[in-house]
Structure 1
Amino acid sequence: MKFKKITRGAFVPLIIFSCLFLQACTSTAQTTESAQDSLRQQIDLIIEGDYVVSMEKDGTVYRDAAVAVDKGLIIAIGPASEISSAYQSLSTLKGDNNIVMPGLINGHSHAAMTLLRGVAEDMALLDWLNKYIFPAEVKFVDAEFVRIGTELACWEMIRGGTTTFVDMYYYADITAEVVESCGMRAIISATVIDQRSPDSENAADSITKGLAFIERWKDKNPRITPVFGPHSNYTLNAEQLRAVRDAAIDAGVAINVHMSESPYEVQHSKESYGTTSIEFYDSIDFFDAPTVGAHVVWPTEAEIAILAERKVGVIHNPTSNMKTAAGIAPVTAMLKAGIHVGLGTDGAASNNDL
């Protein structure tokens, strides 16, 4: 086959025609793409993954899927192809070799105690607290300690997939500031304890400062929830626990408390109040305020019924309970009774990691 010879003069119009043709094709493609874009909803973020764990009631796990997020809310979950067809995002996180799932929740922690990790090992809870932890806290813990320790804890939790935690420690404002800056969510307890502590002199001082903390942070940031954190019924007496309950009710906040954690606590309650630990709390109407009990290792059958009736949440801390020889919590019995049971790590000093 012979090609027709094209002279220089004829070549110029051909170039012009080709350019116009390509321009028209490009324009058509751009128009089509623009039309498609205009049909897609504009959102902030698409997160892709080889698998997406939806947490729907039927337990659906999507393969090659994506999550659409806008203004901080998940608005759609489904196959990646469908999500990309329906939404146009400002940012997309590629999820090759990744699973997308809800962040974990650490139901009980003392975040800043990452800096006390390894201070005391292999001893029972009360010896651990009274001989080592409480003295070390009075000597070393200040606002800067809490800031650095909490920053480390947040990094450690995020690295392990935890995005929300419940905290009880000193200098609650500092903890809140760290959470605000790192992007996590937290329920932050203002610790109440009737002894000299790093940020208070006694129970009354703790309550006063706790109320001020709650007033500063309540409704300030949707990721931060301030609550009261009375330490226990062996570091506070009945009158002081009632005062915390009343303050929490007046402030409209919940309570986070160590409860029935050790044989010592149960024995202390019997000797001081004539009844077991949870029955004592119930006898003073402590549960009139929304309450979450940490540990709950030694409840009786009657106390489990009380927790269920009073809708008290429980946080099981298995590693900490083993390390401090607190015991083995009756988790199955509590679940069977209808109690909501979550998981926690406790502080790194009584767990060694978060």
Structure 2
Amino acid sequence: MSTQILLPRWLIQIETREVLTGHALVIKQDRIVAVLPVADAIARFADAERIDLPEHALLPGLVNLHTHSAMTLLRGYADDLALMDWLNDHIWPAEGAHVSDEFVFDGTQLAIAEMIRGGTTCANDMYFHHGAVARAALASGFRMMVGCSILEFPTPYAADADQYIRRALACIDEFAGESLVGFTLAPHAPYSVSDATFGRVITLADELGLGIHCHIHETQDEIDDSLRRQHGVRPLERLARLGLLDSPLIAAHMVHTTDAEIALLAQRGVHVSHNPASNLKLASGFARIADQLAAGINVGIGTDGAASNNKLDLFAELRLAALLAKGQSGNPTALPAWQALEMATINGAKALGWDDRIGSLEVGKQADVIAVDLSALGTQPAYDPVSHLVYAVDRNQVSHVWIAGVPQLVNGELTRFKSAQLVANARRWQARIAPR
């Protein structure tokens, strides 16, 4: 792989909150090897390929901290429903009838193509048929944390919690050593996983050095049911008693939190994935993100699945997250643009334990890099590129994407996918599933 010199108008340095001009970023093989003034970079790397980005902001690839990639094949299948109606009456029956290795591979590739096209270079997934998720990521050159779903009830993938766990461990062994793919254990939610199974997950995660990924406090009904019918305490208190908060944990949603729970999350170092569009669409509520950030919680941002969003667009999530935080808190300074951009880059990387390799444009890190063209009418004039990236940019303005130094999007064109084939696959699955 040749050395590449990227020559943007603006170079966004997340780790120092600086916008550099007149600087170049140099990629050699899969790494960032230099960030230098342009003249110095050209002199030092005279034989390198030069990529001119004259009206572009260069920044780290975005990290989608919570999604169900394969559910792109259920996009728009069951809209405008409450969460449990949506799950019990529509999504879970459709999954039971159709989810397979083929479904997951095709759906995950469709999701990856959409995410790359919108500047996302890494996703934290949670689904079934984990090997198909991993294979789809590797075939696409995409960085993926594969969440191995664990539940008590049977699906076509596994009969019970024991089988979910066995299949997860076998898959983790199968893909050991792959640089672009990692794994978490993903107990689905407090209402679908028993105390005994949570105990096994905690033990295995600690023994194997794995993170845990779980939906927690997504709806008020989840909390009320735990209090009144199941456990006599709020879910987070139950999970704390079980020891889940003492393991590396990504808590997806965390919409309904008290002051004491926010303090507990901060104290235990729990990472939170904020999923604003999905929370709104399912009427799950308004997460107290400004308060969580102020308490020192590491909050990243996710899309959730395309069945509950209905798109995998982190730039849209950034804008929505920032606006909701301001409106909910009554404070226009809450979640400013720089902090929102951190949520989608370095905060997500930290939550995955990958902040030593991605999340910022630092020498030595993997070259997960995106370029966003700010020359469009909707991003003129460009007083502040960071403001535009959060409040004004459309995902279609992403022009270039590199993952581990490999060009995945060049001048808006995907390099490893044939869009017509992805569309054909999606329509084939639509014909099998049929709308409700």
- TM-score normalised to the size of structure 1? 0.84
Q: Map 1:24-173; keep pairs closer than 5 Å.
A: 44-57=3-16, 59-173=17-131
Measured after TM superposition, the shift of residue 90 of structure 1 is 4.6
SS in 2 for 1:329: coil
Q: Which moved more, 1:93-102 or 1:328-337?
A: 93-102
CA distance in 1, matches of 2:139, 2:55: 29
Q: How many residues align?
A: 311
User: One-letter code of the match for 2:242?
Assistant: I
Measured after TM superposition, the shift of residue 94 of structure 1 is 2.8
Q: 2:188 aligns with which of 207, 227, 231?
A: 231
The answer as to 2:195 corresponding to 1:241 is no
Conservation of the 8 A alpha-carbon contact between 1:43 and 1:89? no
SS in 2 for 1:108: strand
Conservation of the 8 A alpha-carbon contact between 1:43 and 1:88? no
Identity %: 36
Q: Deviations over 1:257-300 (max 9, x none)?
A: 00111112111221211110111100111123211100000122
Q: Which moved more, 1:77-86 or 1:166-175?
A: 77-86
CA distance in 2, matches of 1:175, 1:334: 31
Q: Map 1:263-278; keep pairs closer than 5 Å.
A: 263-270=220-227, 271-278=229-236
Conservation of the 8 A alpha-carbon contact between 1:168 and 1:191? yes
> 2:170 aligns to what?
212
CA distance 1:296–1:79, change in 2 (3 Å): same
Give the structure with higher Rg (CA).
Answer: 1
CA distance in 2, matches of 1:66, 1:122: 47
The answer as to 2:270 corresponding to 1:316 is no
CA distance in 1, matches of 2:305, 2:219: 16
Conservation of the 8 A alpha-carbon contact between 1:67 and 1:77? yes
CA distance in 1, matches of 2:188, 2:15: 36
User: One-letter code of the match for 2:202?
Assistant: R
Q: Map 1:309-348; keep pairs closer than 5 Å.
A: 309-348=267-306
Unaligned runs of 5+ in 1: 1-41
- The Cα RMSD (Å) is 1.6
- TM-score normalised to the size of structure 2? 0.69
CA distance in 2, matches of 1:223, 1:258: 24
SS in 1 for 2:179: coil
User: One-letter code of the match for 1:93?
Assistant: I
CA distance 1:310–1:145, change in 2 (3 Å): same
CA distance in 1, matches of 2:238, 2:170: 28
